[in-house]
Amino acid sequence: MDCLLDIEGLETAHLGPVDLRLQPGELVQITGASGSGKSLLLRAIADLDPNRGQVRLEGQDRDDLVPTDWRRKVAYVPAETAWWAPRVAEHFPAGWNPGEVQDWLDRFSLPDASTEWEVERLSSGERQRLGLLRAFLNRPRILLLDEPTANLDLDNTRRIERAVRGYLAEAGAGVLWVSHDTLQRSRLGGRILEIRQGRLDA
């Protein structure tokens, strides 16, 4: 099987070196103690923090892409997503498809009108789900999910889990998912890797 994401010798000031290969359709869970570097790893892969090493997406070196293009293909979604404009829809990519948005609203059990809401009226759970929706609209090849259901109840957590699994199957994408929830880890399945002393271990 062709490798989707290939990471060799990825290092930051506090992490690495890390080697990791992700196949199309694969979900890999990242665990570790608080402060072990889980978020640092995802941010380094997305090239949001200074790092060195080789990262390739479907054989293409990260350094050969414009950073904004890389981050659309390799989407980092933190637990607390950033919002910089008053209305939700102003954060969607140019040329977004209303039908596609409607599909994600249905999957995430969000009201149709929520795309027109003011950001300041959103609950923490709505922000989290709409932040994920925003990432999906770029049709990323890799999702880097940093506790994406931390602010959600169990029903909505399971909706997100199903939506992510469905996207992997449909798009042949890959996911690195950070979670502290042991029950969620059992539901998600796949490989589970732990960060210990800056290294990634099975």
Give the pLDDT of the chain (202 residues) as one tens digit per residue: 579 999 999 999 889 899 999 999 999 999 988 888 899 999 999 999 999 999 999 999 999 999 999 999 999 999 888 999 999 999 999 888 999 999 999 999 999 999 999 999 999 999 999 999 999 999 999 999 999 999 899 999 999 999 999 999 999 999 999 988 889 989 998 999 999 988 888 7
Query: Is residue 133 a part of any domain in this protein?
Result: no
- Tell whether the torsion through CA atoms of 140, 143, 45 and 147 is positive or negative: positive
Query: Is residue 195 a part of any domain in this protein?
Result: yes
Query: Is residue 34 a part of any domain in this protein?
Result: yes
Domain CATH for 63? 3.40.50.300
Query: Is residue 143 a part of any domain in this protein?
Result: yes
Structure tokens at 138: 């770029």
The whole-number pLDDT of residue 160 equals: 95
Domain range enclosing 53:
5-83+139-201
User: What is the distance between the alpha carbons of residues 152 and 149, in angstroms, rounded to a whole number?
Assistant: 5
Measured CA angle at 90 (ends 84, 94), to 5 deg: 120
Residues 12 and 49: beta-carbon distance below 8 Å:
yes
Query: Is residue 95 a part of any domain in this protein?
Result: no
The whole-number pLDDT of residue 11 equals: 94
Query: Is residue 150 a part of any domain in this protein?
Result: yes
Query: Is residue 187 a part of any domain in this protein?
Result: yes
Residue 179 sits at φ, ψ, to 5 deg, of: -150, 140
The whole-number pLDDT of residue 198 equals: 85
The whole-number pLDDT of residue 45 equals: 96
The whole-number pLDDT of residue 180 equals: 85
CA distances from 155 to 49, 85, 107, 133 (A): 34, 29, 12, 17
The whole-number pLDDT of residue 36 equals: 87
Structural domain tally of the chain? 1
Query: Is residue 112 a part of any domain in this protein?
Result: no
The whole-number pLDDT of residue 101 equals: 93
The whole-number pLDDT of residue 1 equals: 52
